[in-house]
Amino acid sequence: MKSRNKPLDSTGNASFINKINKVKVLNLIRKTENVSRADIAKLSGLSAPTVSRIVEGLLEEGLVREMGAGVSQGGRRPTLLKFSEQGNFIIGIDLGTTQIYGVLSDFDAKIIAEVRRPTRVEEGFASVMKATAEVIGELIEYPLGKKKRIYGIGMAVAGLINRTRNIVEFSPNFHWHKVDVVEALSQYHKIPIIFDNVTRVMALGEMWYGLGKQFKNLICINVGYGIGAGIIIDGKPLYGPLGLAGEFGHATMDKDSRALCECGNYGCLEALSSGNAIAKIAQARLREGRPSVLREACGGNLDAVTAEMVATLARQGDPLAFEVFDTAVEYLGIGIANLINLFGPEAVVIGGGVAQAGNLLFDKVRKTVNSRALDKIASGVLIKPASFGIKAAVMGAVSLILSEVVNLNQDDRFSPLPG
């Protein structure tokens, strides 16, 4: 979606004003239950004829439907309108390093069908794209009835995504440099594709379908193999000029650390707190000869120790496992305290594999934030697990397309697939 990056023409020409009014009306219908044309006129300040004209257009496009009659205020009973989730679909893809997870969703974030396939990173970019195209193909083929319309494919990818050039600049997890995902997939399917960094995508999903219904300022942190942050300010994700903002995992936490990060720096948060780091630190302590049940848990193969094993044994009271996990999560808590001081969010949401450790992680993070962040900023901040658990990225991918639909960013390349 190149059009998304272009500033809108704000010179006040007619088509610009028409579009703004249309977006206003569509979003009023989406957010307000049982709304009539007269209500919209009142709420939007637009004239009744303007509202009628816009609603007719939205009905024709299938974005809105009529719901029957409401209560009369004297005279004819008004027809109520509803944002149309029926017959309109979106494909969401979470392109992870272990699996490609695809869903077919309606506009209400209800999952209609899902497909999973192993990623096989070692087979290279072209092979991963072919497998992704197959997942998309299966979802397109899913029987949906005559009037289906698939609006687009949203995708979450781990790595530095350059939005101005629409490429993955660098993905250490996939070992990709400067790859064009959209071009590769468009050789298989002609549906518009939007992709973004997985953590920002998770934050968007949280904003559209989760905590965003309550809050306009939130930070979503993904703690898995690596660490990233999706920062939402006043309802808008922070991108930075190239779309590279939010690399929380590469904040230096310890200048004297000897923990080497995949970015080449030492002492990054990701080298101290990620799932990968937790596993590696535990392995190093075991090699030093420290006693721990972890040794039995991995069957003597220290390379097989995972962050999940460390969390499980930490919860069972193994001193080494607890020390490794607790130290890692303390660094994470310090990082989050810094983010809270900087951005003053209403909520911090933590997702990803390591967050599945539950209270073991959240209790320590909350305690560290309480002791390190400024009271006045941090006292009211809600810190909680991501609303969609392991589905956070894929639901965010769906919301990438939904946000284009409700902002009517549908240019020629963004027309729905006919049924």
User: Among candidates 76, 211, 222, 212, which has minimal Cα distance to 157?
Assistant: 222
Name the H helices within 118-238: 125-141, 181-186, 198-209
User: Among candidates 225, 266, 223, which has minimal Cα distance to 248?
Assistant: 223
Shortest separation between residue 261's beta carbon and Zn ion, angstroms: 3
**Residue 227 interacting with Zn ion (CB under 5 A):** no
Q: Which of 158, 202, 232, 268 binds Zn ion (CB under 5 A)?
A: 268
Which among 1-9, 141-149, 235-243, 260-268 is the span making contact with Zn ion, rule CB under 5 A?
A: 260-268
Shortest separation between residue 160's beta carbon and Zn ion, angstroms: 12
The residue count for binding Zn ion (CB under 5 A) is 5
User: Among candidates 316, 324, 318, 325, which has minimal Cα distance to 292?
Assistant: 318
Name the H helices within 45-91: 48-61
Nearer to Zn ion, 189 or 250 (CB): 250
Which among 22-30, 142-150, 248-256, 284-292 is the span making contact with Zn ion, rule CB under 5 A?
A: 248-256
Shortest separation between residue 265's beta carbon and Zn ion, angstroms: 5
**Residue 261 interacting with Zn ion (CB under 5 A):** yes
**Residue 257 interacting with Zn ion (CB under 5 A):** no
Shortest separation between residue 338's beta carbon and Zn ion, angstroms: 16
Torsion angles phi and psi, residue 156, rounded to 5: -105, 125
**Residue 265 interacting with Zn ion (CB under 5 A):** yes
Nearer to Zn ion, 18 or 265 (CB): 265
Amino acid identity for residue 146 in this structure: K
Q: Are 80 and 69 in contact (CB under 8 A)?
A: yes
Shortest separation between residue 264's beta carbon and Zn ion, angstroms: 7
- What span, in angstroms and rounded, lies between the C-alpha atoms of 305 and 72? 67
Binding string to Zn ion for residues 308 to 337, with x set by CB under 5 A, is what?
------------------------------
- Angle at which helices 275-287 and 319-343 pack, to 10 degrees? 150
Which among 49-57, 225-233, 267-275, 381-389 is the span making contact with Zn ion, rule CB under 5 A?
A: 267-275
Q: What angle do CA 51, 57, 60 make, to 5 degrees?
A: 140
Shortest separation between residue 153's beta carbon and Zn ion, angstroms: 30
- What span, in angstroms and rounded, lies between the C-alpha atoms of 244 and 322? 34
Shortest separation between residue 267's beta carbon and Zn ion, angstroms: 9
Q: Which of 4, 19, 53, 250 binds Zn ion (CB under 5 A)?
A: 250
**Residue 252 interacting with Zn ion (CB under 5 A):** no
Nearer to Zn ion, 224 or 416 (CB): 224
- What span, in angstroms and rounded, lies between the C-alpha atoms of 24 and 55? 11
Amino acid identity for residue 68 in this structure: G
Nearer to Zn ion, 277 or 400 (CB): 277
Q: Which of 20, 23, 184, 263 binds Zn ion (CB under 5 A)?
A: 263
Distance (Å) of CA 391 to CA 109, 209, 350 = 11, 12, 13
Other Cβ atoms closer than 10 A to 282: 28
Contacts with Zn ion by CB under 5 A lie at: 250, 261, 263, 265, 268
